[in-house]
Copies of this chain bind each other. A is one copy, B any other.
């Protein structure tokens, strides 16, 4: 049962698509305050588990910490952080009471989940304008499915997007991209996509290509396609201020950019230097920006990643002025009066300064809305701009979109990658733990930068991370400029990498099928064990294991120098390993705790009792996966409902695309 409570005058985020009548009065749960902001306080039972909150730090059970929805371009995803790139304000309290809450509030909102007081959940925001959805159900899983039904169907990418992709911030020219393609193809390493980071653009201008580095961009895209590789360019949130640049000029002329209170276009420096931010909340601006993507689709491009859309700000004009004054003060006074540390403090406050977010406005149906009140919608509406335009311009085929920043609602228009993580083993585990939480909030096409974005990776970390990535819908190796080369052919004994990537393609029929079924039935692709085994008292403890679909459990190794790991089986399962020689080992393990050995070049999974999954022969790209080679592994007598379609068209009829196979 879903109840909808409206407080004050909420901003219409369009996160929820279902029409739900407003419930009068106050919810039966929690104590609500609306004086001087919004507050919600609810006691937590000692054993209550709190699920949800999507892209966030910490565990699947969010208890014991403070989470702040405040889309932030902060690349240090350490345990003490409370904000990443997204705002996913849906959570479930699962105990004697089972209740879900969606705080549809696009400003900064805080979730103290037993942080200051272990036994109290407190949610608070600066304004008392929001819509609160309260959902009851027999289980946490049922509440999630209820919620998913009201927010609309999750985005479905083209099938090629389930292949493996290579990326690096630093690839510049077509030669760089061809060299990457060759590195993969010559080593028979499967590959479907190469992502183009900011350097492909001319001076970091959206919807341009660098003229020096690409002699003929459409020809380059075509040549890549001949190699069965799609190039996936990045699009950034800010539009460079440059006379003669059409996107800039059209935006200024039509008032499509966010404005200061005085009506001037707001200025923020990001990669291109000073830019304006498109006002994605303005439907006309949104439509205009979305249609700009056509420049690239016309050149043969079939997918994009939207970045810097928190929106990230390196510094604003106003911030630079503050620093200038601080420097002048320092240079004209003594060190004792005004220390150099004060200047440093000002400079380090430049990036993503809340003062800047309070300093520009969106035009929403003629009303000026301060950005800080709707801060968390920027990435959502940027991706919506692109998604809506492409639905109109490309009705016959799917276009790949994923975004760094997001809000619930954006899951209908694209996926997300989880931003600028690091080559840390702890981020492999964090990656795993985020997956079901993101699914709960509607985001199905998801993945982290495998191997880690910041810092140097190591061979073992990348191999272990790829073995998790085999199961994430978005499977991408990506790294930052200045770090060690991270392509799969850079570490010696390349056959180990080939093997792990091949497992992805062998499992592709299953992964695609499970993705499509989850999307089309508003279900989860990744589930916590506790959702599948609600009666199992230990299942909520096994946070480093996940269920995919109804068939398999994954339990990746995430510890350096470990030869294996502990795993908990709520029921008997078949322990399956894809071995480096191409064979598959199977061993029945009884319910309970086990230590399983898993070598660096093996990919493990567990098949649930009585089930089976399809496995195909290896292939070097998605289109080469041969459906005739599909056979089932698992339990004899098991059957599986295999979904398949052309992977391109936007017709998604579940009935006609499913067939039952078995062993």
Contact residues of A with B, CB < 8 Å? Answer: 58-59, 61, 63-66, 76, 78-80, 115-118, 273-274, 314-315, 320, 323-324, 327-328, 330-331, 335-336, 340-341, 343-344, 347-348, 350, 422-426, 454-456, 458-461, 484, 492, 541, 543, 560-564, 566, 568, 593-595
Contacts and interface: CB of A to CB of B under 8 A. Distances in A.
A331 B324 contact: yes
Contact of A118 (B347, B423, B460, B564): B460
Contacts of A595: 566, 568, 593
B343 A348 contact: no
Given A336-B273, A348-B344, A460-B64, A426 B423 contact: no
Contacts of A562: 541
B118 A64 contact: no
Contacts of A61: 561
Given A66-B456, A79-B424, A566-B566, 6 more contacts: A80-B454, A80-B455, A118-B458, A315-B341, A331-B331, A340-B350
5 contacts: A76-B78, A115-B458, A323-B343, A327-B327, A593-B595
- Chain B CB within 10 Å — which of A58, A336, A595 has the most? A595
Nearest to A115: B458
B335 A320 contact: yes
How many copies of this chain? 2
A492 to B, nearest CB: 7
Contacts of A424: 78-80
A91 to B, nearest CB: 15
A459 B327 contact: no
A104 to B, nearest CB: 27
B59 A561 contact: yes
B79 A425 contact: yes
A461 B64 CA distance: 9
B324 A341 contact: no
A541 to B, nearest CB: 6
A79 B541 contact: no
A27 to B, nearest CB: 26
Contacts of A543: 561
A59 B566 contact: no
Nearest to A568: B595
A79 B593 contact: no
Contact of A561 (B63, B422, B492): B63
Contacts of A560: 58-59, 63-65
A50 B83 CA distance: 37
A343 B315 CA distance: 13
Nearest to A79: B424
Nearest to A78: B78
Contacts of A593: 566, 593-595
A216 to B, nearest CB: 31
Given A320-B340, A336-B273, A541-B563, A458 B117 contact: no
Contacts of A116: 484
Contact of A330 (B59, B327, B423, B564): B327
Nearest to A544: B559
Nearest to A314: B341
Nearest to A483: B80
A568 B347 CA distance: 50
B341 A344 contact: no
B426 A79 contact: yes
Contact of A344 (B65, B347, B459): B347
Contacts of A423: 79-80
A353 to B, nearest CB: 13
A56 B404 CA distance: 34
B64 A561 contact: yes
